[in-house]
Amino acid sequence: MPTYDYVCSACQTRVEYFQSMTEKPKRKCPKCGASKLVRQIGAGAGILFKGSGFYQTDYRSSSYSQAAAADSKAASEGGGSCTGDTKSCAASGGPCATPASPAPAKPKESKG
């Protein structure tokens, strides 16, 4: 539940209320009793990261990086063989990873 800031337009008293987002705004000033309390637009709450290991769990391990580098090195040395399946060749970096250029379009015959 958020905290809302209010200002009384009659006596300039500032108040904070901890209330539900669906609850109607307060109107009565606690100091002067006038029904001129106006809810202010706040800056919002900041994000708070608590606990240890936040960065350890969000990034991949060094062993993963080393394995990925070894895989890319093997692929660049031409270790893959083409089976004709362009999807698997593209994934392995094989020789048929780039699709062949499409055949030129034939001109349409005009009937006339």
Task: Write the DSSP assignment of 43-100 as a string of letters.
Answer: --PPP---SS-HHHHHS--HHHHHHHHHHHHHHHTT-----S-HHHHHHHT-TT-SPP
Asked, for residue 22, whether it belongs to a domain, the answer is yes
Asked, for residue 17, whether it belongs to a domain, the answer is yes
41-45, 71-75, 92-96: range with highest mean pLDDT:
71-75
Asked, for residue 8, whether it belongs to a domain, the answer is yes
The CB density around residue 104, as the number of other CB atoms within 10 Å, is: 6
Asked, for residue 13, whether it belongs to a domain, the answer is yes
Place of tokens 């705004």: 25
Asked, for residue 80, whether it belongs to a domain, the answer is no
What confidence tens digit (pLDDT) does each residue in 81-105 have? 555 555 555 555 555 555 555 666 6
Full domain range(s) for residue 22 = 3-39
Q: Give the chain's domain count.
A: 1
What confidence tens digit (pLDDT) does each residue in 54-69 have? 665 566 677 877 888 8
